[in-house]
Amino acid sequence: SCLHRLAAMDRWVWAITKTTCFDVEELVLYNTCISRFPLVTGQCGTCLLLKWARSLPEVKYCVRFTDDVKEFGDGENTEFETVFVLEDFDSSDYSYLYKHDNRIVGPPVVLHCALREEPLPFFSRPLYSTTMLHLSLCFTGFRNKEEVKLVNLVHHMGGAIRKDFSAKVTHLIAYSTHGEKYKLAVCMGTPILTPTWIHKAWEHRDDVQFHAGDEAFRTEFKVPPFQDCVLSFLGFSDDDKVNMEERTLKHGGRYLEVGDEKCTHMVVEENSVKELPFVPSKRLYVVKQEWFWGSIQMDARAGESMYCYEKMDSPVMKKAVSLLSLNTPNSNRKRRRLRDTLAQLTKGTEISPFPPRKRPSGEVSMGSLLDISNTPETCKDLAGESSSHSSTPTNLKQSARWQVSKELYQTESNYVDILHTVLKLFKLPLEKEDQVGGPILAQEEIKTIFGSIPEIYDVHTRIKADLEELVMDWSEDKSVGDIILKYSKDLVKAYPPFVNFFEMSKDTIVRCEKQKPRFHAFLKINQSKPECGRQTLVELLIRPVQRLPSVALLLNDIKKHTADDRPDKITLEKAIESLKEVMTHINEDKRKTEGQKQIFDVVYEVDGCPANLLSSHRSLVHRVETIALGDQPCDRGENVTLFLFNDCLEVTPASVT
């Protein structure tokens, strides 16, 4: 074995400050095994060690070598305090030194201090490396013998062990997701790792540049959220059930059929299940699907108490019953008011700002926005859904112009609500810095997905406020067109950045949902919330693409019901033209963007493509695969690709990459 004997300078720093009889310390080494440890600096271990021993300003070292551990390890040295450097902590030399209460360190500790020009740390236990320096671990669910071995390894790597879990614990070591310590760790965002993390860290003990707390290393050893859980699924479609079963396996759990005695959890689709098929046992957790997706999102088993499934009566009926149970006076007027209130409450389906789903958003055409006659989202879909909730005048004799203006306001209000939902439920939570389990998406991905939605939301919030004021204080002289004209420049700024890159936004969502399970779970949780109307994020984000054509249609209707002698007639025409200009601007930008993308595709495809091909005024007109008939510029019979641009023709061999 290789032994090194060092004077422990950390204690002697104190002695030097108190007395002046010592100004040199002894550093005794056994052979030169430190030189066998590779270093990033390119220096051998011994050279670095000697340089370090001479350079520390606090103390000077006198270096000696020895071949016999017992020469120095059998008692107290009155002149020097001795530290032994030992490579093998399982050897007889280690046992001898440990038995005689000697300070023992491994070569990585010395090299760690030498690289950083720091004094040796003082530890009451043998310290082989600094692999877990500054880490504080807590164990849960282990048997004593197994835990003792792990504790020793942690101590040898500089880590600390705490019996009770507290805020000072940096990592929890667990076999399963059960127990109070696990719940506390989840609440506090403390990493929960398997014992394998400790064993793998010990394998890296000789690497002085390695630290077990690095996130890239420890991520592999996270305790999966469904560890030791057996799940069953009730009320889901076949596709959803298969998806959830696959994700259960991927996240450390198992699944069985509903009713199996081995199940620990039964996940219920609360919107489709009215009655449970059996009386669950006390040890079976019956939870809503939000528990399942929430656990995946935060990469830890969520607390079941927050997601317990309970048979819920309709909230509308609950409210109605509570109204009927009031001790109201026996008067016909109040009874009639109560009946009217109850009738309003039973119209529960009118609350949602979302129109009936005629077709999936994936079928929506992303063609020209000027084709407003074929807009997927017609305003009339929304009109009847919020009419009963409008606080506008209810005179049935109001003009057709007022009716359409009110419809414009109602659809605008619904649209603003949808944008608010996108920002509140999706964008803001994804941007939070203190997410459990770390960020779900990178900032660039969030920016790509949501684009200029905040700017669009801001301008439409102001439009909604102006329309509300107009409808609430209605007169036939009021101008609807002025409101749209007022914000036309803001619309031009806000819409093109989002609409032009909507396909990229959609592709990013699809890609991240496939590649990032936590993002998929995040979307599933929000999709089930009432605010989303059971629509996906992609379906919600297509609303800005549809909105301007819908507004243009309604303005046309208002213009039809506006007399020719009314000032708003001309204003409405200008407003419609301003919207067409916005949509034309969007379409032109979209064509430019697509054209530039095509040129970039050519540049990446063609090997050795000239840099001057990239030009802001150049666009690709057509591409043709041909065969060369002559000898110039290619060989006869060679496959050739022709790229026809608006100002030039480029010829390249077909095997371009």
Higher pLDDT, 511 or 88: 511
Model confidence at 325, pLDDT cuts 50, 70, 90, reads very low
User: How many Å apart are CA 614 and CA 603, to the nearest integer?
Assistant: 8
Report whether the peptide linkage leading into residue 126 is cis, meaning its omega lies within 30 degrees of zero: no
Domain 230-307: top CATH class: alpha beta
Closest CA to 34 of 114, 126, 102: 114
State the amino acid at position 146 in one-letter form. Answer: E
Higher pLDDT, 78 or 120: 120
Q: Does residue 458 carry a pLDDT above 80?
A: yes
Model confidence at 641, pLDDT cuts 50, 70, 90, reads confident
Contact 191, 223 (CB under 8 A): no
DSSP 236: -
Q: Does residue 26 carry a pLDDT above 80?
A: no
Q: What is the pLDDT of residue 499?
A: 86
Assign a CATH topology to domain 380-388+398-505+551-591: Dbl Homology Domain; Chain A (1.20.900)
User: How many Å apart are CA 636 and CA 26, to the nearest integer?
Assistant: 84
DSSP 387: G
Lowest mean pLDDT among 14-28, 335-349, 498-512: 14-28
Q: Does residue 622 carry a pLDDT above 50?
A: yes
Average pLDDT over all residues of the chain: 77
pLDDT one-digit tens code per residue, 200-209: 999 999 898 8
Q: What is the pLDDT of residue 377?
A: 44
Q: Does residue 284 carry a pLDDT above 90?
A: yes
The CATH code that applies to domain 136-221 is: 3.40.50.10190
DSSP 90: T
Q: Which residues contact 647 (CB under 8 A, 6 or more apart)?
A: 617, 618
Mean pLDDT of 395-404: 75
pLDDT one-digit tens code per residue, 103-142: 888 888 888 887 777 777 778 889 999 999 999 999 988 7
Q: Does residue 390 carry a pLDDT above 70?
A: no
Q: Which residues contact 452 (CB under 8 A, 6 or more apart)?
A: 494, 495, 497, 498
Contact 553, 372 (CB under 8 A): yes
Q: Among 3.30.1490, 3.40.50, 2.30.30, 2.60.40, name the CATH number for the domain at 3-116.
A: 3.40.50
Q: Does residue 248 carry a pLDDT above 60?
A: yes
* Token duo for residue 470: 């107009």
Closest CA to 500 of 416, 578, 569, 597: 597
Closest CA to 602 of 623, 617, 588: 623
Secondary element (H or E) of residue 138: strand 136-140
Instruction: Report the length, in residues, of the chain.
Output: 657
* Token duo for residue 351: 């609350």
- As a whole-number percent, the residues of the chain with pLDDT over 70 amount to 71
As a three-state string, the secondary structure of 504-573 is: HHHHHHHHHHHHCHHHHHHHHHHHCCHHHCCCCHHHHHCHHHHHHHHHHHHHHHHHHCCCCCCHHHHHHH
State the amino acid at position 511 in one-letter form. Answer: R
Please report, to the nearest 10 degrees, the dihedral formed by the alpha carbons of residues 618, 619, 625, 626 taken in order. Answer: -40
**SS3 call for 225:** coil
Model confidence at 388, pLDDT cuts 50, 70, 90, reads very low
**SS3 call for 170:** coil
User: How many Å apart are CA 479 and CA 483, to the nearest integer?
Assistant: 7
